[in-house]
């Protein structure tokens, strides 16, 4: 009731006293007239092609829709704004003939994707010696925060017929051929895997078809937990905020806090085994119900927001709901970014490498690196190369009890789009224990057989996620691998022999056999076969392209948490508390049954990283946010499991 009243009042305030919003073209970022906007309404293209921006206030909080992050370019940072290209598109054809995947230097088609994948990236399942399963789960959650999955929804739900005769007539369909001598399917009937072309500004009517196609994505292009809070105030108000004590809406069930569950339909939880499995999140972004990694971290960060808001309301009882909510949101976002930048990336890429490139600082104080000339954008290359992490995905999720006893395992492909599974039989407890006890997939040139053969589980037959990565490499129009080598290394590569020191020696002959010219090599094929960067577990070119983007995140985000000259900035004491953020701290605070864990749960248990009590890990002291205007002295307090009045359940302490 209250959110609807709030929305109604907000509309009245705008109509009778608010400032007039400005309409922007989502692709070029330029304002459009009211008449142009009406024409787009008539053509039904406003969703993808137009952004509406309320006038900016330089001193306001980070906006939910990402607008006004760059004050000179207010629509940059919003959904549906374009990727940046580090290198020009490479397509075959032009506006008259269409834009098809590039051909080989000889003029012939590039090698067929499925046999190329099976040659360069064989299937196998080997546990990693360094990393836990938590790494791939967190990475897929990061990806969901800056990229969208509508291309997958397109071929799974909207156009599932692409391998039928009807698919041959649909220009959006791609038929990925499986050869007769395929190592897996040679004795079966499957000879085609269905896929669709990426949604682009051209396909959605924003730009003419004779222009170079640019992929269109939904999320805001900054790390801002948009998959938690949504991307517009309407869904945040109707499905997110409780409008009480700064909290997000929640439900308590058997001592566990959940995001609110839909009471009407659960079309994104279509694999729930009813009637036993009924839970499906009704949140601002339904994608939280999708892949298990996205689902788990959505639940944990949802709880973490309420954990933070509850602590702040105890420390500052005079704060109103708005101040509690937006402060909790800022801390929640900062917690995630701190964990990515100062825990996950150093483990993957090498801490010294990150310091040298300016991704992180070796000083715990402020960093004021904002550059208004760098727009908040994701590079198309970064958006694509994150797909390399499919090679480290381990599909068998092991389940443990709180004492570390192995119970059973479940294929992750079987619990995609199946939120209800988490809510029964203590499954979320056992999976939570499993993600930090289980080894992840090995960082090598093998892919888990389930990822390569049944990637989407029962949703669709024959889904080779890694072959699809090659197909998308070509349909995204990415430059050849060697061009990115030149971009990253500042030198020319003319022959296959020049690749020595970059491609793994045992794979160089395979590359030569499959490609006839060095400029034929696909970017993803190069990444699969490339040597790791020094001090890193990642291929050299992947490391380079990720470094580039993670510097961009820092310098292009006006609300970056390490700045002290931004609106509502943390003071030094508060920033030093944020520095205590770790994924183990997250699980200790809001993970089911987690009372002990290794200090760095991205890394496997071992010497120096032994299981320890959560009480031994650093924890954020929210008295750093004490507002003198609220009065009152310091105190120590605890708040724990949910009570009969429906209060949140946490394991937290705040001390003055």
How confident is the model over 133-155, as a mean pLDDT?
85
Q: What number is the average pLDDT over the span 453-471?
A: 84
Q: Is the pLDDT of residue 17 over 90?
A: no
In the chain the domains, ranked by start, together with CATH numbers, are 21-83 (no CATH), 226-386+544-654 (1.10.640.10)
Q: How much is the pLDDT for 391?
A: 95
- DSSP code string of 508-542: HHHHHHH-SSGGG--HHHHHHHBPBPTT-SSBHHH
Answer left, alpha or beta for residue 655, where phi above 0 means left and psi between -120 and 50 means alpha. Answer: beta
Which of 109, 113, 111 lies closest to 121, judged by CA? 113
Tokens of 175: 């038929």
3-state secondary structure 296-334: HHHHHHHHHHHHHHHHHHHHCCCCCHHHHHHHHHHHHHH
pLDDT-derived band of residue 97, with 50, 70 and 90 as boundaries?
low
Rg of the chain, C-alpha, whole Å: 25
Each residue's pLDDT tens digit, 174-202: 899 999 999 998 888 889 888 888 889 99
Strand partners, 612: 597
pTM: 0.93
Among 174-183, 338-347, 433-442, 573-582, which is the least confidently predicted range? 174-183
- In sequence order, what are the residues at sequence separation of 6 or more whose Cβ sits closer than 8 angstroms to the Cβ of residue 437? 132, 398, 400, 404, 605
CA pair distance 26, 35, nearest whole angstrom: 16
Over residues 147-171, the pLDDT tens digits come to 876 667 766 767 788 888 998 888 8
12: tokens are 């009245």
The stretch 303-317 carries a mean pLDDT of: 98
Pseudo-torsion of CA 177, 180, 186, 189, nearest 10°? 60
| Per-residue confidence band for 444, with pLDDT thresholds at 50, 70 and 90 | confident
């Amino acid at each position: 009731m209250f959110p609807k009243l709030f929305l109604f009042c907000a509309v009245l305030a705008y109509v009778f006293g608010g400032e007039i919003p400005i309409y922007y073209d989502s692709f070029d970022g330029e304002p459009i007239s009211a008449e142009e906007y009406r024409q787009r309404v008539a053509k039904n293209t406003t969703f993808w092609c137009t952004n509406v921006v309320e006038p900016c206030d330089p001193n306001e909080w980070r906006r939910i829709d990402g607008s006004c992050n760059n004050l000179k370019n207010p629509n940059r940072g919003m959904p549906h704004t374009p990727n940046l290209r580090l290198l020009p598109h490479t397509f075959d054809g032009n506006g008259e003939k269409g834009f098809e995947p590039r051909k080989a230097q000889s003029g012939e088609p590039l090698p067929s994707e499925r046999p190329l994948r099976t040659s360069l990236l064989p299937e196998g399942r080997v546990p990693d010696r360094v990393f836990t399963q938590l790494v791939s789960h967190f990475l897929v959650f990061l990806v969901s925060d800056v990229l969208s999955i509508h291309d997958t929804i397109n071929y799974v739900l909207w156009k599932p017929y692409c391998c039928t005769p009807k698919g041959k007539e649909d220009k959006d369909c791609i038929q990925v051929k499986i050869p007769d001598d395929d190592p897996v399917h040679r004795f079966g009937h499957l000879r085609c895997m269905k896929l669709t072309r990426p949604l682009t500004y051209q396909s959605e009517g924003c730009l003419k078809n004779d222009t170079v196609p640019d992929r269109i994505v939904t999320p805001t292009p900054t790390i801002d937990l948009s998959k938690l809070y949504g991307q517009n105030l309407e869904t945040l108000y109707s499905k997110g905020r409780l409008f009480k004590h700064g909290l997000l809406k929640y439900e308590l069930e058997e001592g566990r806090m959940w995001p609110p569950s839909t009471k009407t339909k659960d079309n994104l939880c279509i694999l729930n085994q009813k009637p036993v499995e009924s839970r499906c999140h009704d949140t601002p972004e339904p994608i939280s119900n999708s892949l298990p990694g996205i689902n788990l971290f959505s639940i944990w960060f949802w709880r973490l927001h309420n954990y933070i808001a509850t602590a702040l309301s105890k420390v500052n009882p005079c704060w109103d709901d708005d101040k509690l909510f937006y402060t909790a949101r800022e801390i929640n976002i900062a917690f995630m970014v701190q964990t990515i930048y100062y825990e996950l990336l150093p483990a993957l890429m090498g801490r010294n490498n990150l310091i040298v490139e300016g991704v992180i600082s070796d000083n715990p104080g402020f960093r004021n690196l904002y550059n208004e000339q760098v727009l908040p954008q994701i590079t198309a290359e970064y958006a694509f190369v994150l797909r390399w992490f499919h090679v480290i995905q381990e599909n068998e999720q092991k389940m443990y009890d709180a004492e570390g006893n192995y119970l059973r395992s479940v294929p992750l492909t079987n619990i995609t789009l199946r939120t209800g599974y988490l809510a029964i039989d203590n499954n979320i407890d056992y999976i939570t224990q499993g993600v930090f006890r289980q080894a992840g997939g090995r960082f090598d040139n093998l892919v888990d057989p389930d990822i390569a053969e049944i990637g989407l589980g029962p949703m669709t037959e024959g889904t080779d996620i890694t072959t699809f990565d090659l197909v998308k490499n070509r349909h995204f129009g990415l430059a050849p691998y060697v061009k990115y080598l030149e971009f990253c290394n500042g030198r020319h590569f003319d022959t296959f022999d020049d690749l020595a020191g970059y491609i793994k020696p045992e794979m160089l002959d395979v590359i030569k056999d499959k490609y006839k010219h060095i400029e034929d090599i696909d970017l993803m094929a190069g990444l699969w076969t490339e040597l790791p960067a020094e001090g890193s577990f990642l291929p050299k070119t992947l490391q380079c392209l990720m470094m580039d983007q993670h510097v961009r995140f820092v310098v292009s985000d006006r609300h970056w948490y390490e700045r002290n000259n931004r609106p509502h900035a943390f003071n030094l004491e508060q920033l030093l508390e944020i520095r205590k953020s770790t994924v183990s701290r997250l699980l200790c605070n809001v993970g089911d049954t987690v009372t002990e864990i290794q200090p760095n749960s991205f890394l496997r248990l071992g010497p120096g990283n032994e299981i320890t009590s959560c009480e031994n890990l650093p924890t954020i002291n929210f008295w750093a946010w004490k507002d003198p205007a609220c009065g009152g002295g310091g105190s120590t307090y605890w708040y724990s499991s949910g009570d009969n009045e429906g209060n949140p359940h946490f394991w937290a302490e705040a001390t003055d």
